[in-house]
Amino acid sequence: MNWKDSEFYFAHLPTGPIGKLFSKAENPWDPLCRLRVAIELHFEKLESTGTLKTQPDLILDPLEQLKEGGYFIKESQVLEADFIDTELFIAVGQGTLLEAGATIKNHTIIGNNCEVRQGAYLRGYLYLGEGCVAGHATEMKHSILISHVEAGHFSYIGDSILGSYINLGAGTKISNLEFRSLEQKAQGILPEMSMHLEGKKVPIGLKKLGAIIGDGFEAGCNSVIAPMAFVGKECWLYPNQTLLKGVYPAKGKIKSIESGLSLRL
């Protein structure tokens, strides 16, 4: 399955361990399977080059009540230098705006010139490339946003990969968990997700998977993207619509609820 040559390929990949996730991937979701390891390798590289924990004019409160550890932003500011915490695996690039009231949990890399607005909740195992926006009341976890992805208002992004120059209208939700039976919920069971590709059932290696979205995607306000939606470059999802599980070719205009094409990656 040569997905890298398809309409889902990302034109502007990160450098370092995060970028290598894509160069070695056989399936579109593979980078998520090893994201935690890649983030830790990123910080190991920082330590090996002598980069120390720094807090340049950054006012943060450790959140001891958070099991995994993290920071609560006490005062809004634009970073004049990189912030790096090699203990919690948190890095924030210079030029990034951190607004008071945002939360950043461990295993999070935020690039240069991003915006983390008031009330944003970054739950960790997360990569935000240059120019990304995590807006008010927006929650993100275990995802890769390659660059210039804007989720400015009331959004959720879980277990997903988003390319570059993407805008999610207010209220856009990318769901990451399929329906479960009563028995599964009572026992706390999260079945491993799988997909049917070329007539074969292919295990993904994840219990949660949101969407894989190509460069230039536009989502209208209050749109919902179902788990395992594969969206080609420059697609438009009109407001108040649901994008169901499936594959959507590049430059499509989705104006009403419909399922994707048969999975053909």
Give pLDDT tens digits for 80-119.
Answer: 889 998 889 999 999 999 999 999 999 999 999 999 999 9
Tell me what pLDDT residue 256 has: 66
Pairing label, strands 236-237, 115-116? unpaired
State pTM to two decimals.
Answer: 0.92
Tell me what pLDDT residue 262 has: 43
Tell me what pLDDT residue 170 has: 97
Q: Check the CA dihedral 29-30-35-36 and report its sign.
A: positive
Give pLDDT tens digits for 195-251.
Answer: 777 778 888 889 999 999 999 999 999 999 999 999 999 999 999 999 998 888 899
Tell me what pLDDT residue 1 has: 40
φ, ψ at 137 (rounded to 5°): 60, 25
Nearest to 111 by CA among 190, 164, 170: 164
Tell me what pLDDT residue 125 has: 96
Token output for 134:
């995590």
Q: What is the mean pLDDT of residues 184-200?
A: 87
Q: What is the mean pLDDT of residues 27-35?
A: 92
